[in-house]
Structures are given as C-alpha cells and as structure tokens.
Chains A and B, each alone.
Chain A
Amino acid sequence: MPDIFKTFRSFLIAGSVLGALYGAPVQAADEKTADSKAAEAAPPPATPAADDEALLKRGADVAIAADCMACHTTKNGKPFAGGLKIATPMGNVISTNITPDPEHGIGKYTETQFDEAVRHGIRADGANLYPVMPYVSYAGMTDQDMKALYAWFMHRVQPVATTPPETALTFPANVRSAMKVWNLLAASETPETGDSMTFDSLRRGKYLANALEHCGTCHTPRNFMLGEKTDRYLGGGQLAGWYAPNITSSETGGIGDWSEDDLVAYLKTGRVHGRAQAAGSMGEVVSFSTSKLSDTDLHALAAYIKQVPALDDEVDHKARDSFGQPMNDPDIRTAVPKRIDNLDQMSALQIFDDNCAACHGRNGAGTTDRAVPSLFSNSVVGSARPDNLIMVILNGVDRKVGDHHAFMHGFNDQSQVERLSDAEIASLVNFLMEKFGSGSVNVTAEKVAEFRKQ
C-alpha cells in the first residue's frame, strides 16, 4: 500500500470555492520574499517552563484532544514528523513536521508564532496555512491551553530532523494568500477564556467538541463558500468518499436514540454493539484522540453532543441503527464446484456468503465476542446513504485502540485477500442494505467506481 491518504473535506474540492477564490481580489504577494524575511527576523523561541509538570501535562492532554497526531504523523512514522498526504482534488496537502527540531520542525517558533499558526492559520514566515489545518476551530482555545500546548510541543515531543515533501497544489489553491480571502468569509470559533479545566461540564463539553476535537469540521455541512453552515451544526457532512453522519439529537435523523454511555463507549473504543463502529477518519479520531480522553471529558463531550439541537436528516428518517434482523434462511445449494478459471460474477447472496459470512456470519450477526460487528442494527448498513458501506467494503477498517486492533481488509484493487469488481460491490451493497438495512438504493457499478477513485 502507498501512503495512507486521509480523505479531507470538500471545501477544497467544490468548484464553487475555486471560482470564488479565482475571481477574488487576491493580493499576489511575493511570498518568497516575505518568507525569507520572516525567517531571518524570527527571534529564538522563549523557553517556557520546562519543569512545569502541570503545564506540560495539560499540554499533552490538549494535543490529544485536538488530535494533532492524526494528520501530522504517517502510519509507522515518527510522531509529529508530518508527511501524511491529505488528498484534495488540487493535489495532496502534505502535513508538516511539527516536532521541535529547529531546522525541520517548529523549534524556532516563538510562543506567539505558534499561537498565530494554530489559532489563526499563519505560519511563522507570514504565509497562510491551508485550512486543512483546522485553525478556525482551534481559534476557540484558551490562552492557557495554547501556552500549555506550546510548552508540551517544545519540551516533550522528540525532535525529528526530516522535512516532508512540500505541498504542491494546482492553481489557484497553490496561491496561499488566497486563503486570506477565505479566512475573511469563514467563521472562526470565538475564543474561550479562563481555565478550561474548571469549566462546568456543558461548557467543557462544548469546548472539547468545538475548539479541540473540531467535530464540526466534518460533521457540519458547508455552505457554498465552504464555511460551516452554522444552522446545520453537526447535521452531517460529505467528505471525500465517506459521509460524516448527522450526530444531532434527532431520534430519526441523528443519534438521539444513543445514551450518553453509548456515545462515551463509542468515543472510547470506536464501537458500540448494535449501533456503530468507527472507520475511515473517525477511526483515526478514536485511535489517536477520543480513546485517550479522561472519562470526565468523554462524558462532558457526550453530554454536550446529546443536547445539540435535533436536526432532521434529508434521507435518514428512522434511526440508522434500528434496521435489520438475522438472516436465517436455509442454505439450499444446487451447484457443484466450478472450474478454477470460472470467475463469473456470482449472485449477490453468494458474494455475501463467500466474502462476508465467514466473519460476519451467514446470518449477519457478527462474532460472539463482538470483535466482528453485526451487520444488522448497524448504522453503516442502516443508513439510506450507501457511502460509508461502499467505502468500508473498498478500504476496510484499520482501527487501533489500546491493545485492540479492529481490522477488516478492504476489497479494492490493492487487497491481498479479495479484489471485487465495481459490479460485484454494487450487487453486494444492495444485498446488504436490502437484507440488513433500510432497503436497497440500487447502487450501480458506476457509482462504486466513483468511490473507488476517492
């Protein structure tokens, strides 16, 4: 497998924003000059208290809650050394080295420069960051947490002396200053103040959800300028391939049927039997971030999410995890073994039986130890949007939480185990939705082909 591609949301994807950016009165600043000047002018970083353990501990917690790791570390790579490719239609944004190495990382950043980058999207050399970096969310962080985060990065992260490849996007996205225009239009979080650890539960939950975990980055849909639609907060958003579902308190369109404990269990382990399992980017969020939050924080976050105003969903009108039942038909067989070169597409039932049933059970109930989830009472299968079902069949699941490694191989054209065609996957998805979900939506092979390209 090549590098893991993080699929990133569509604000860099849709044509509308490119048009807007292209037509906008962009200041075509000579960034190179600005860069070198800024670099020369950068004073040596102030040294925050290297021995202030309370501060450093808080910094570590903030880094986890803000999930810096997910984007700034490659699979099997050194922590925070960057290099992860984040796919966008204009090319790959490659995350940078944010270890305290002075040459390759952010070792020369002053606390102010660090703050500018994290909360305002402006690099030490004055250039704008691409908003793949969720600085509009991080803008909500308290000064105290920023200080702690800086201290932790400078003193507790191991410097790594490597520089990942430069991001090279196509025009107009390659003009970093175009992002200044976008920043004017996009709504940033209002900064919190005070000591975030002393916030009451609801305020703490909100702070975690918005300033740190940046849930809305994926789960809130975007307006035509690709800023978050605040009136559809957590109402569900389209990512490249994956769909970050409606997680409002709606009992029909969201997760109103989940208890606070369900939500805590999901964020802690990535799976709740009979409800949902995390894959794709959400799997990484759980692996790197939410599974490491304290129970108090998890409950605060869950309680906050639970009280987010309910929003109906456009296509899901009954709880996504409420569909399906075990398939108990007898397996009456009429075929004899076929010649080894007969690779003709089999029936949907056979494709299911021969590719899924070994682990998920012929009845779809999963394994008794729940290491393999049930296919019925499963949000991915129950949703009327086939997106995540197609994506998970193509790309599998690879989610590590503590000692638990949830793994399902994909069925795409890099699979070592089985490579299914677009038509086979379409047939399978329709079968699964019919048998275990809310009904087939007649996914076509062409549709699967589009997902395969994501």
Chain B
Amino acid sequence: MSSENLSADVVIVGSGVAGSSIANELVRAGISVIVLEAGPRVDRQHFVENFRNLENKPSYQGPFPSVPWAPHPPDQQTPNEYLHTSGPDAEAYQQVYLRMIGGTTWHWAGCAWRYLPSDFELKSRYGQGRDWALKYDDLEPFYYQAEVMMGVCGPDPAVEDLGSPRRQPYPMDALPISYAAQQFRKLIDEKTPWRVVHEPQARNTRPYANRPTCEGHNNCMPICPIGAMYNGSYSVYDAEAAGATFIPNAVVYKIERDEANKLVTAVHYLDPDKGSHRVTGKYFVIAAHCIETAKLLLVSADDKSPTGVANSSDQVGRNMMDHTGVQVTFISGDKALWPGRGPLETNVIDNFRDGDWRNERGAYLVHMVDDNQVDLATQMAIAKGYVGRELEERIRYLAAHTVRLFSHNEALPDPNNRLTLNKTRKDALGIPHPDVYYKLPEYTVRSCEHTRKVFRELIGLMHGTDEQWTPGYFPQDHPSGSTIMGVDPKDSVVDGHCRTHNHENLFIASSSVFSTVGTGNITLTVAALALRVADTLKKELNHA
C-alpha cells in the first residue's frame, strides 16, 4: 500500500466504541472513512483461552498482553510498566484500558448509564466544577441511538425511573437480577430509606443483533465468552461491512496542520516496523481513549503549537477525572447469597447520584457486585489455615456469604491533575509513555467518607464480619477530562460539538471531553457524544 494514497473524507484515530460507531454512521451515509488503530486485530476465542489460563483471574488486563508498538497498562499495579502515576493519590489513578481493534469495551461490565441532567450543569446547579457546553436534552436522541446500537436492556421508566428522562423505552427488557441481588434489594427496601434499581446494561436479555441472550457466565470482565454483551468490535464489523477501512497496527504520532495552523491536513502513523505513513482527509476525529488522546495531542507539539495540538488553552492533559472507588468485602451473617450467578453488575443503589449536598461533596453510586467468590473464598480459607473437610465446608460457606460493595465517586476537574509525557520511558516506536499526577479532590474525598459510612451501615444490616477494606482509593477505569469541553476557548479544548476550538476540522470523541464525570459508567455517554459527532460531520460533509 502506498502511504501517499491514504485519504478519506474522515480519518478517525481509534477503533473503540467511539471511533467505530462514528465510522459506521458515516460510511452508511456515503462518506469515506479510514480508521487507524494502534493495536492489532484480535479474536474472542483466544481471550477466552487466555482467561482460563490466567492465574490471577481478577486481573482484567491479564488476558490481554499488549503488543510492543501499542502498549497498554499490563495491570493496575503502581509502579506500572506503562502508565506512570504520581502524586498523593497515584494509586487512585492507575487506570487500565486496551489498545486493539474494538477497544476497551472488550472488558467492561456493560453498565450503560445515561448521565443525569444535573451532571451536565454541576457549576450552575451546585457551584462546583464546570458546566458542559451542552445539555442533557441535546444528547437525549443520541443516547437512544447509542442504546439501540449497543443493545441496552433496562427497566420501564414508569416502574423504575432512573432520573434521565427518556423519549423511548429501553430497546430490551430489564435483566432479571440474581437471587443474591434480590435479597440485597429486599434488605435495602425494608431496612433503609434507599433503593436498589436495575442497572441499564448493554447486554442481551433476548437474541439481539445476531448475538445470543446472556447466559450468566459471570465473566463480563474480562471477557464475555459468548458475545451477549456489546463491545466495540461489533461496530467495527458493521462499519467494515458497509465499506469503512480499518488499518490495525497504525500508531498515530503526529497531527499535521496547514500553514495557518487552523486546519488539520493529515495524521501520520508508524507501523510496527517504524515505517511512517501519511493519511489525509477533510475531517479528523481523535477517538483514542482519554489517556491516549491527550498523549497524541501532546506528542504532536511542534514549532507552531509548542505545547501540543489544540492546546492554546493549555488544558490538554489537565482536569483528569475518574470515578474513584471505595471497596469493601465482608462475610454476611445472614442466609446464603451465592453471588456470582449471572452477570457481574446488575443492580445499583442510586440514591446518592444527585442531591443538594452536591454543593459540598461528590455524588456516587453503589454496586453490590455479583461476582463469583469461590476463588476468593478458597484463598481466604487456605490463608486461615483450613485443610481437608474443614477447608471444603469453609469454602462453601465463604463463597455463599462473601459480599463485595464498591462505589463510583465523582471527581472534579482540577487542572493540577495532569497528564504529561514521560521524559525517559518510551515504547518500542520511541513514543513517550504517559505520566499522570493525581491528587483526589477534597470534594471526592468527602464523598468517599460518606460512602464508607453507608457501607458500614450496610455491613451492620447484613450482620457482616471479617470486613476487608481495599486500602486507600482505587480507580474505576473511567478516565475523563483530558481534553475538556467548554464554551470558552481560553479554558477548554473542545466546544459543545466536540470540535476543537483551535482546529475547525478536528473533533475529539472520547471521555476526554467530559466536563464532569457524574456517577454512571461513562461508555454510553462516550457513544452518544460520538454519534453526535457523526451527525455533525454528516451534516457538514453532505452540505459541502
């Protein structure tokens, strides 16, 4: 292939849910598309095999050893071989993600939350953080489009209103929750002022889009063995079937602009043999995950843009956010629950997603994780010194009674929480590794304290013992904010349409544009924003 001939109406960097869904929309509207993916093509069966051969089963990165030309974090350990975090809460920003065709949704739990209307207006409603440069209503139609694309099941709003107004019902009926979740829900109903809701999920409760009904393999993370849960590879397949070109192993390292530094003219990528290729287009979309997107803009710094592309505001790489987690595991003193039957995450306490108190502490949601605890129970029982028959009865008891709770606590955009390029560590192609400095905002710390109180109350209600608190804070792998959205080009990177303030034909489709991070998992909002970018591009290209 002659690199000089690589050209399309729209060039997209990244083949995850954002990049592939934009590609699919555009190519079906007659617009030519090239998608450049840093990682390789991959195949589900090998991940299933890898998972079963993996000793550390809870490691979500474990079944996905990366390629040297597109490394991703090997694990969630600090220090890390790829993502180097520092600062007072370095461990709370040790994110994991995947660089390969289809992206990080190969290992997500399928939780498909819409944000609340208030999440877009945190500043004006509660005086905290920022407002987005768009409102919930702007995104509502695209939320629905994303739900149809991904195949989302969820509760009937008339029965269980999740707080994000809907014009249409969920594409699929809500997933029936497990016996363990039913008991938890009953307890919360009877003994607390809170409630447990059915989590909206991109998971089939009936055959949908030529994929089967969920069978409860309890392995959404790291790999759904049967394809009952959405991942970005389906949108890749759809886009390819319609004629989009996907180039794997194409690591973009430079964003080229015209003389005036107004329009992007090309992106350059390296193949695994370090051969360089130039790809031209009319429009460009960076959809390379929050961390890699910011890294690419910074790596592209040159004389015209010495601090990085699209970075006249100096906000690229800043305002790093996440859902920080509090986690506790304990042994319930009540009847057997046997968690781990069915999908991993199906139910949520949603009472703390919004309230007037958001003027001083962050919102959060609580998952009772429906994770098979047999392996953990076995490790605990062996560590306690049991053998033989006593070990077996102890394993059964612990596996039936172990409860794990964790939370998603809202962060705030703080410019000091910042991604930069590592000065010494480089990948096989010579591209610097990312560094992130992270200090939890006090707003989030206060939120986590509140969560701990709630967790203690729940442990009491369940007559729990042997509680093990995960030390400190841990990342929920929902990084966001690194190319923050705003109306003012002086303090933000993209506008309400995810178009960079600096370059009118450069868009960003990623959680990196989030102005706040809310509490629900970020993927559905990423997909909705991406579909809105596709809509904008369709209008501009078809009118041109």
- The residues of A with any CB-CB pair to B shorter than 8 Å are 1, 331, 333, 335-343, 346, 350-351, 353-355, 358-359, 367, 372, 396, 398, 405, 407-409, 414-420
Contact = CB atoms under 8 A, between A and B. Distances in A.
B49 A335 contact: yes
B421 to A, nearest CB: 25
B209 A407 contact: no
Given A346-B49, A409-B227, A416-B237, A338 B211 contact: no
Given A337-B65, A358-B217, A359-B215, 6 more contacts: A335-B53, A340-B100, A354-B45, A354-B49, A409-B227, A419-B43
A340 B42 contact: yes
B357 to A, nearest CB: 44
Contact of B227 (A339, A343, A418): A418
B4 to A, nearest CB: 27
B215 A367 contact: yes
Interface in B79-105: 100
Contacts of A409: 210-212, 227
Contact of B46 (A346, A359, A416, A419): A346
18 contacts: A331-B52, A336-B53, A337-B53, A338-B50, A339-B65, A340-B39, A340-B46, A341-B42, A351-B45, A353-B52, A354-B45, A354-B49, A358-B225, A409-B212, A416-B210, A416-B233, A417-B210, A418-B227
B206 A355 contact: no
B226 A359 contact: yes
B382 interface: no
A339 B68 CA distance: 10
B41 interface: yes
A358 B48 contact: yes
A334 to B, nearest CB: 9
Given A337-B65, A340-B66, A405 B52 contact: no
B422 interface: no
B240 to A, nearest CB: 11
B48 A354 contact: yes
B44 interface: yes
B215 A358 contact: yes
B24 to A, nearest CB: 13
Given A341-B41, A354-B48, A358-B226, A398 B217 contact: no
Interface of B: 39-54, 62-67, 100, 206-207, 209-213, 215, 217, 225-227, 233-234, 237, 241, 249
B67 A340 contact: yes
Contacts of A405: 206-207, 213
Nearest to A2: B241
Contacts of B249: 341
Q: In the complex, which of the residues A341, A350, A415 has the most CB atoms of chain B within 10 Å of its own CB atom? A: A341
Contacts of B237: 416
A359 B67 CA distance: 31
Q: Which 5 A-B pairs have the closest CB atoms?
A: A417-B227, A341-B40, A407-B207, A337-B50, A358-B225
Contacts of B65: 337-340
Contacts of B41: 341, 343
A195 to B, nearest CB: 42
B107 to A, nearest CB: 12
B179 to A, nearest CB: 16
Contacts of A367: 215
A418 B237 CA distance: 11
A417 B62 contact: no
Contacts of B44: 354, 417-418
Given A417-B44, A418-B227, A340 B212 contact: no
B23 to A, nearest CB: 16
Contact of B209 (A336, A416, A420): A416
A416 B241 contact: no
Nearest to B47: A340
A362 to B, nearest CB: 10
A418 B65 CA distance: 20
B78 to A, nearest CB: 22
Contacts of A1: 210
A355 B42 CA distance: 15
B148 to A, nearest CB: 15
B67 A417 contact: no
Contacts of A415: 210
Contacts of B211: 409, 416-417
